[in-house]
Amino acid sequence: MTARSRTTVVVITRNRRDQLLHTLDRLAGLPERPPVIVTDNASTDGTADAVARLHPDVTVLRPERNLGALGRNVGVRHARTPYVAFSDDDSWWEPGALTAAERLLDSHPRLGLIAARVRVGPEGESDPLNEMLAGSPLGRAADLPGTQVLGFLACAAVARREAFLDAGGYHPVLFFAGEETCLAYDLAACGWGVCHCPDVVAVHRPIGGVRAGRPAVQRRNAVLTAWLRRPLPVALRHTRLLAAEARTDPEARKALREMFARLPAALRARRPLPAPVEAAACRLEGPGPTAPGLQGAVR
């Protein structure tokens, strides 16, 4: 670690040892030489031991169970730098990206999270998410460096550690998949800015396509997020729309069933957004419970 490394990269993984080792090789080659924390979500393929052997400078956290996205929360709590960047086991950062993020965070004290530009696939093509984020109808604020958003890709974000902890990190009700929107809401509710900054660039190299069951979980979490943070009429509307889809769509039926199983916990944790943040969420909202504008772009 050098004196310039004021950003810790937090990585979550589960049973993807070889992909993780490739990602750690890429992170180790960055000019910033950031400290790296890996939360191994109860892998059974020898991931933690392989990291300890091949990347001894990496801190490996070994919770006794799969924490899902909450593994990032554990990593952030262990970090000792003012900023944290997030990678998954199939993503990393371009050289200079973390330095660019530090400059933006240094010069904009209200900036809580940067939604980076994403290059995806072997050819490094622009992720369609980039255009959606850049075109956010929320526009810019005078004290923030980019377009304001309420959505981002978890493995392509850099956060102020203080802001992340202030907002509570990722929500336990959601576990994983589509968990980013609730965190964006909570950051905004705490007064932190969430911006798309295209000068900060992440690389995402997903392998194997969409994981089995992931679409249903994303739809489940979109509705649960509405119950956690949106007004009751909005949450009810999202639920009714999912229920209507469930009549003919097996994935929607699964999402609805899982949503109701988690709904009591969501209701106990319910905290509606402040009026200005709710107004911003309404501006972004599109048709259907799983495609709310930029929030639906979160994958």
Q: How many domains, the chain?
A: 2
Mean pLDDT along residues 146-154: 97
Q: Tell me, yes or no, whether 38 and 85 share the same domain.
A: yes
Classify residue 118: in a domain, yes or no: yes
Lowest mean pLDDT among 102-106, 209-213, 229-233, 239-243: 209-213
The answer on 140 and 102 residing in a single domain is yes
Domain limit, last residue, from 165, 181, 204:
204
120 shares a domain with 13: yes
Of 166, 185, 204, the last residue of a domain is 204
Structural domain boundaries enclosing 265: 214-285
Per-residue pLDDT, averaged over 192-215, amounts to 86
DSSP H or E segment with residue 91: strand 91-93
- In this structure, of 200-209, 238-247, 284-293, the range with the lowest mean pLDDT score is 284-293
Listed range (65-79, 96-110, 139-153, 195-209) with the worst mean pLDDT = 195-209
Q: How confident is the model at residue 286 (pLDDT cuts 50, 70, 90)?
A: low
Do residues 61 and 99 both lie within one domain? yes
Shared domain for 180 and 64, answered yes or no, is yes
In this structure, the answer to whether residues 189 and 63 fall within a common structural domain is yes
Q: With respect to residue 25, please indicate whether it lies within any of the assigned structural domains.
A: yes
Whole-number pLDDT of residue 207: 80
What pLDDT shows up at residue 64?
86
DSSP structure string for 1-20: --TT--EEEEEEESS-HHHH
Give residue 290's pLDDT.
35
Flag whether 298 is in a domain: no
Please tell me whether residues 123 and 151 are part of one structural domain. yes
> Is 291 within a domain?
no
Give the three-class secondary structure for 198: strand
Q: Do residues 87 and 187 lie in contact, with contact meaning Cβ atoms separated by under 8 Å?
A: no
Q: What mean pLDDT, rounded, does the chain reach?
A: 93
Q: Say what the pLDDT of residue 21 is.
A: 98
Check pLDDT > 80 for residue 151.
yes
Give the pLDDT score at 253: 96
Q: In whole angstroms, how large is the CA radius of gyration of the chain?
A: 18
Residues 115 and 144 reside in one and the same domain = yes
Instruction: Give yes or no: residues 127 and 48 share one domain.
Output: yes
Report yes or no on 88 lying in a domain: yes
* % of residues, the chain, pLDDT over 70: 92
Asked if residue 150 and residue 221 are part of one domain, the reply reads: no
Q: What is the pLDDT of residue 80?
A: 97
CB 177 within 8 A of CB 217: yes
Would you state the structure tokens that stand for residue 34, as one six-digit string? Answer: 């950031």
Q: What is the mean pLDDT of residues 60-70?
A: 95
In which band, very low, low, confident or very high, does the pLDDT at 209 lie, cut at 50, 70 and 90?
low
Residues 175, 293: contact at Cβ < 8 Å?
no
In percent, the amount of the chain with pLDDT more than 90 equals 88
Question: Does residue 15 carry a pLDDT above 80?
Answer: yes
In a domain, 292, yes or no: no
Kindly report the length of the chain: 299
**Mean pLDDT within 87-94:** 97
CA quadruple 11, 16, 18, 21: dihedral, nearest 10: 10
Instruction: Output the pLDDT for position 148.
Output: 98
What CATH number should be reported for the domain holding residue 72?
3.90.550.60
Element (H, E) at 27: helix 17-28
Q: What integer pLDDT is reported at residue 85 of this predicted model? A: 98
Which among 178, 204, 230 is the end of a domain? 204
For residue 145, is it within any domain?
Answer: yes
Q: Is residue 28 part of a domain?
A: yes
pLDDT computed for residue 100 by the predictor: 98
Regarding whether 236 and 165 lie in a shared domain, the answer is no
190 and 224 share one domain? no
Least confident of 48-62, 200-214, 278-292: 278-292
